[in-house]
Amino acid sequence: MIHYYALKDNQLQKVDNLSTAVWVNVFPPFEHDEVENLARESSIPLDFFTDSLDIDENSRYDREEDCNLILVNTPVLNNALRDNEAIYVTVPIGIIRTAGTIYTISQADNPILEKFVDMKVKGFDPIDQDKFTLKIFEQSVISFLLCLRKLNLKRNLIEQELYNSSRNSELRQLLRIEKSLVYFVNSLRANDLLMMKMKRTDFLGIQSNEYYTDLFEDIIIDNSQALDMSNVYTNILSSTMEAYASIISNNMNVFIHRLTIITIILMVPTLVASFYGMNLDHIPFSESPYTFYFLILFSICLGLFLIWFFRRGQKNY
């Protein structure tokens, strides 16, 4: 779908055509040839739109004669139904800047752009393209930080559950969190490189504006903080998974050890009784009427001796 917006009386309002719009927002679902027609009507290279719809596209910028493109990765909730998928994934927002009109396009319903549509972003002005671009960067970093806090809280809750029982469902949830953090680390690193390159080359042309320069500096710092948090949470989660794998392996070894001891304790008396189960002559005490009771008593004593022997060995160990 394509929505055209103009600013009237400091309020964002929808308009019907491109000629009066200052902001064009393109979002799913997409109709047949909708994007191609928009590219033709606006005289923007089609690659600018198609690259923005590629979920695997890295953060970058590109410049043409009459317009330029900025791709920045943002986090979105993963709506996949499979349990082994990441909780959050990252998708790019394409920001296409032309003379008088700014275009945003995303492959998924993006809550960041919805904030701008609902006028929930302080200081949002679609006419000021530099400020609009910086605000998208800012909201992207804020969204990353919020998602990271949610993932860390979820990880702590799952760890508390794992203290009581090591169920597969909790381990699968930890794996989903780990996948989300991997997406975050890669996207935040790409965003960081993008912003640093834009600052170095003054791609936005804001070097002479102190307010915008300071705002861009703060965004870069916050993005670096989000990247550091992602790396820390990833390391913590990896250590946690390794620790639980060691605990499960140790518990399995203890269980097998106990099962082996029980098997030996039961096997030795059974071996003695099996000798007297043979259909042979000249077996000792075979003629005595007390042989059965003797064998039962001897097997019990032998079992108790083995129990004492293994317990003594464990205490010495």
Sheet containing strand 23-26, strands side by side = 11-15, 2-8, 23-26, 102-106, 88-98, 67-77, 60-63
- Residue 282 — pLDDT band, cuts 50, 70, 90? low
What's the pLDDT at 166?
62
The beta strand positions in the chain, using DSSP E, are 2-8, 11-15, 23-26, 60-63, 67-77, 88-98, 102-106
Concatenated DSSP letters of 43-61: T--HHHHHHHT-TTPPSEE
Distance CA 166, CA 232 (A): 24
pTM assigned to the model: 0.81
Tokens 């979002």 label which residue? 27
Distance CA 35, CA 28 (A): 11
8 Å CB contact between 102 and 199: no
**Which fold is adopted by the domain 2-249?**
Beta Polymerase; domain 2 (3.30.460)
> Which residues of the chain form CATH 1.20.58.340?
253-316
Tokens read off for 183: 């997406």
Distance CA 82, CA 85 (A): 6
What's the CATH code, domain 253-316? Answer: 1.20.58.340
Sign of the Cα torsion 302, 307, 310, 312 reads negative
Q: How many helices (H) and strands (E) does the chain have?
A: 7, 7
Model confidence pLDDT, tens digit, residues 207-261: 999 999 999 999 999 999 999 999 999 999 888 878 777 777 777 887 888 888 7
Q: Is 314 exposed, middle or buried (0-12, 13-18, 19+ CB in 10 A)?
A: exposed
Strands 23-26 and 88-98: unpaired
Model confidence pLDDT, tens digit, residues 133-177: 999 999 999 999 999 999 999 998 888 877 766 667 777 888 899
Distance CA 7, CA 14 (A): 9
Model confidence pLDDT, tens digit, residues 10-47: 788 899 888 889 999 998 888 878 899 999 998 999 99
Model confidence pLDDT, tens digit, residues 44-90: 999 999 999 998 899 999 998 889 999 999 999 988 756 678 999 99
Residue type, 6: A
> Which residues of the chain form CATH 3.30.460.20?
2-249
Model confidence pLDDT, tens digit, residues 177-208: 999 999 999 999 999 999 999 999 999 999 99
Bridge partners for 92 per DSSP: 73
